[in-house]
Amino acid sequence: MRWLARTYFRLRGWEYIGARPEARKFVAIGAPHTSNWDFVILLAVASHFGFKPKTIGKEALVRGPFGGVMRRLGIIPIKRDSGQGMVEQMAQAFAEATDLALVLAPEGTRGAEPYWRSGFYQIALAAGVPIVPARVDAARKQAGLGVPFSPTGDVTADMEVLRDFYAGAVGFKPGGESAVRLREEDDPGSLDS
């Protein structure tokens, strides 16, 4: 996969930015997410920097005849009837893992929205792991990773770090980028609920 990703980038005139995080466990967030190509490019970034991305999926995805394949593809199952919420289950997964690069798309959709979803932030805070921002910029033909940072609980200050990193980044479908903002910035008490 690494060879294929590097070849694609070279042939298409793209460049990688950033460096592989030193942390063995982190939450990577990919944005902007305006098309399926943004996701493909971010998979190439993970391959280039040498980490195996994992993501969250319904428990049903890892059952049945394709369950093993889905696990090998990096799906971490969430049990909806476990009595624990997604954040708690993921914090437990981080506690049990030696290496875990959880990759999430905080926009949650390929269309412009006024807010990002805060799950990535809540998981990183609960698990005590850094957030690694990953960016696709189709206009500049750049993709890569930003500097990892540990969330402090000061949502607005932490989101300023992300706003700086994603400023000006354009996805494959310009205009589909969501605002780099959490609803919790406008309603500070909602992060605790």
Contact (Cβ atoms closer than 8 angstroms) between residue 38 and residue 171: yes
32-70 pLDDT, tens digit per residue, is: 988 888 778 888 888 899 888 888 877 777 777 777 777
Helix (H) or strand (E) segment spanning residue 5: helix 2-12
- Strand arrangement, sheet containing 75-78: 15-17, 142-145, 131-137, 25-31, 100-104, 53-58, 75-78
Which two three-digit tokens encode residue 12? 């298409």
Q: What is the pLDDT along the chain (193 residues), one digit of tens a residue?
A: 677 777 878 888 899 999 999 999 999 999 998 888 877 888 888 889 988 888 887 777 777 777 777 777 777 777 777 666 889 999 999 999 999 999 998 987 777 888 899 999 999 999 999 999 999 999 999 999 999 999 999 999 999 999 999 999 998 888 888 999 999 998 766 665 4
Q: Which helix (H) or strand (E) holds 30?
A: strand 25-31
Which single residue is written with the structure tokens 């190509």?
37
Domain ranges for the chain: 1-53+119-193, 55-99
**Distances in whole angstroms, Cα of residue 117 to Cα of each of 16, 48, 107, 184, 191:** 26, 27, 6, 9, 11
Q: How many CA atoms lie within 13 A of 12 on its CB side?
A: 17
Question: Checking DSSP bridges between strand 15-17 and strand 142-145, what pairing results, if any?
Answer: parallel
| Exposure on the CB side of residue 69, measured as CA atoms within 13 A | 3
Residue corresponding to tokens 């990193």 = 165
Using the Cα atoms of residue 45, residue 111, residue 93 and residue 18 in order, give the sign of their dihedral.
positive
